[in-house]
């Protein structure tokens, strides 16, 4: 199963069609999207609700909660599935560095450590 945001991220720099709740449609290249599913389209064409008027836009920004549906190319789904599979197969690496402090004085940046005074086991 591919989540919608993952699918949108895989669709970047590809053509798509977006229909709004108002009935207008936008067709263009997806430049970017964010966590709220707001869309930034480039070289798009806006079509009126009745389909009789058209506007050519170099860029447009569509608020995510106004989207009714999105139409993507079929290969975008395949790309998203492959990306998800690659991410799942890649081992996770956990470092020991950083500035975080551990529980009850372990791994923190204070004065001393487990072998100095009261701070350790």
pLDDT given at position 81? 80
Map out the domains of the chain with their CATH numbers: 4-72 (2.30.30.100)
The closest of 63, 67, 80 to 12, measured between CA atoms, is 80
pLDDT given at position 80? 82
Is the full-model pTM beyond 0.85? no
pLDDT in 10s for each residue of the chain, 121 residues:
778 888 899 999 999 999 999 999 999 999 999 999 999 999 999 999 999 999 999 999 999 999 999 999 988 888 888 777 766 776 767 766 666 566 665 655 666 656 666 655 5
The runs of H, that is alpha helices, within the chain are: 4-10, 74-89
Close Cβ partners of 114 (under 8 Å, ≥ 6 residues apart): 105, 106, 120, 121
């Amino acid at each position: 199963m591919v989540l919608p945001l993952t699918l949108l991220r895989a669709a970047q720099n590809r053509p798509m069609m977006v229909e709004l709740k108002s009935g207008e449609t936008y067709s263009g290249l997806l430049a970017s999207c964010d966590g709220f599913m707001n869309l930034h389209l480039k070289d798009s064409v806006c079509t009126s609700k009745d389909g009789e008027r058209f506007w050519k836009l170099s860029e447009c920004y569509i608020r995510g909660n106004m989207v009714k549906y999105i139409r993507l190319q079929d290969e975008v789904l395949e790309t998203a599935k492959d990306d998800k599979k690659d991410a799942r197969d890649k081992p996770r690496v956990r470092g020991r560095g950083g500035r975080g402090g551990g529980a009850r004085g372990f791994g923190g940046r204070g004065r001393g450590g487990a072998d100095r005074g009261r701070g350790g086991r």
